[in-house]
Structure 1
Amino acid sequence: MVLEQQANAPRLAGRHALVTGAGSGIGRAIALALAAAGARLSLAGRRLEPLAELAALIGPDALALDGFDVTQPQAIAEGLDRARAAFGPVDILVNNAGEAPTASFEKTSLDLWNHVISLDLTGVFNVTQAVVPELKRKGSGARIINLASTAGLTGYAYVSAYVAAKHGVVGLTRSLALELARSGVTVNAVCPGFTDTPMIRKSLATIMEKTGRSEAEALAELTRFNPQGRLVLPEEVADTVLWLASPLAQSINGQAIAVAGGEVFSG
């Protein structure tokens, strides 16, 4: 009977998880998966409406942190103060915020380059550095999970800034995993392939506009990278994050785990 109760108990009961970019797509799916496992959620992002809707769906163990701009240390500090006041120190950090604008390299302006690097890479640095001290105090069971991409393991044309940023996220993950290993904090990256999110739908619209292809043809262009011939589902990415956040993943550290149907092989 005791074993049955343990098996059915929420795996993350009482744990405080901060998810950046939580308002839609992969971030939303991750938040829902962590909440179902018993975690208390600080839902961070820049826009209130989607965060508030998600917090209402989850219930009293979720807090909407709007105005949480990962490129601005002051905004991060203010958001973390609110999160800690609600749920205590952070136990699980999920760095998910990011964008993937498309442009050929020759048309990638310095402003675009700096924007993507600032949001997709420096943002991970900013939030992680703000949270690391409390994660180290927590020790065993504390988690940093960075959402990278298969773009962090290989290359794609017309998204050079994004590819560079995500390679940086994977490198930062591996370096920090070694630094924090003896503290008990694990650091891993999840690398989704093309995933059915609003970001990808925006990319589809861009392909259609620039090439004159139909939606089906544009979708075929993206799904051809996945040997399974489909887009990854946000829930599949969320399940991987949930596993990494669980107590059973304590020995998984410094890994870049591809969720991409066999598109790339990470070693």
Structure 2
Amino acid sequence: MSAAQAIAGRHALVTGGGSGVGRAIALALAEAGANVTICGRREAALAEVAKENDRIFGLAADVTNEAEITDAYQKAEAARGPVDIVVANAGMAGSAPAHKTSLTDWQRTLDVNLTGAFLTVKPALPGMLARKAGRIVFVASTAGLKGYAYVAPYVAAKHGVVGLMRALAAETAKSGVTVNAVCPGFVDTEMLEQSIQRIVDKTGRAADEARASLAATNPQGRFIQPEEVAEAVLWLCGDAARSITGQAISVSGGETW
């Protein structure tokens, strides 16, 4: 059975679905026949993505707010049935030397990237365990597999996401639920453009030079495309990956192993 056949008719929930990797994942799942609930803080952005496929539905929710995420699940399941697939994709990043990182910035980065990931998947677990079926995919980062300078909170958070994934995979291994993470390198999205601008602002380097320095971290010498991450997620959600759980899959052109 192909991934598309296994996914058709399922209900997927994707956070951070209003742009970038989240948008690409939502579109890939919808094109495979899933009904997709996308969540994020920007209602207008969610609405624009929903216009691209009539299987996509937007719901405003902040992943750091447990009440909002719980409410989003209740509304989504009332409209489209139990959530079969969860993709915890919402994230953010800043940049500063560790000794200049404020506690506020540290906490906000962990709240969005790590606590937000936990709050995203927690409501889905009881139903998945009861049905003995489900797919959970965290969008982590190569920053969850190695260290990068000047992004200590982000690296710590993404390492935490990989650890959370492994813990949940161990808990659910006998249940029919799989839990995995995809760990992209630098992806050609709006977040990447923000990173490039921060380099320009803080170092005075030209944008092209900053862009080239980031692309060079990938041995293939390029940025990952959002659709490549989406294809990895799609495969993990299909029946062909039913024995794959507890894995952090690097999508990085060989940057990490």
Same fold, TM-score > 0.5, yes or no: yes
Pick the aligned partner of 2:234 from 213, 231, 242: 242
CA contact (8 A) 2:3 2:237 kept: no
Question: In structure 2, do the counterparts of structure 1 residues 57 and 209 end up closer, same or farther at CA, with 3 Å as the change threshold?
Answer: same
Q: Is the 8 A contact 1:91 1:138 kept in 2?
A: no
| Residue of structure 1 in register with 2:210 after alignment | 218
CA contact 1:11–1:38 (8 Å) conserved in 2: no
The residue matched to 2:173 in structure 1 has which SS? Answer: helix
The alignment's TM-score, normalised by the length of structure 2, stands at 0.97
Q: Deviations over 1:241-263 (max 9, x none)?
A: 00000111100000000000000
Alignment match, 1:43: 38
Alignment counterpart, residue 194 of structure 1, candidates 144, 168, 186: 186
User: Secondary structure, in 3 states, of the residue corresponding to 2:51?
Assistant: helix
CA distance in 1, matches of 2:17, 2:3: 27
Provide the rounded CA distance (Å) in 2 between the counterparts of 1:259 and 1:223: 14
- 1:9 & 1:262 partners in 2: Cα distance? 27
Confirm or deny that 1:82 pairs with 2:75.
yes
Identity %: 54
Q: State the superposition RMSD in angstroms.
A: 1.2
CA contact (8 A) 2:88 2:139 kept: yes
Q: After TM superposition, give the deviation of residue 138 of structure 1 in Å.
A: 2.6
Secondary structure (helix, strand or coil) at the match of 1:154 reads coil
Aligned residue pairs, count: 257
Deviates more, 1:21-30 or 1:206-215: 206-215
Paired residue secondary structure (1:145): strand
The residue type paired with residue 56 of structure 2 is A
Question: 8 Å contact 2:142–2:256 — kept in the other structure?
Answer: yes
Deviation at 1:8, TM superposition (A): 10
Cα deviations across residues 61-113 of structure 1 (Å, max 9, x unaligned)? Answer: 221101x1111111011111110111111000000001011111011100001
What residue in structure 1 maps to residue 222 of structure 2?
230
- Map of 1:1-267 to 2, 5 A cutoff? 10-59=5-54, 61-66=55-60, 68-140=61-133, 142-265=134-257
After TM superposition, the structure 1 stretch with the greater mean CA deviation from structure 2, 211-220 or 244-253, is 211-220
- The alpha carbon displacement at 1:11 in A equals 3.5
2-side partners of 1:221 and 1:254: how far apart? 32
Residue 7 (structure 1) shift = 6.2
The residue type equivalent to 1:202 in the other structure is: Q
> Matches of 2:13 and 2:208 in 1, distance apart?
36
CA–CA distance in structure 2, aligned partners of residues 122 and 192 of structure 1:
20
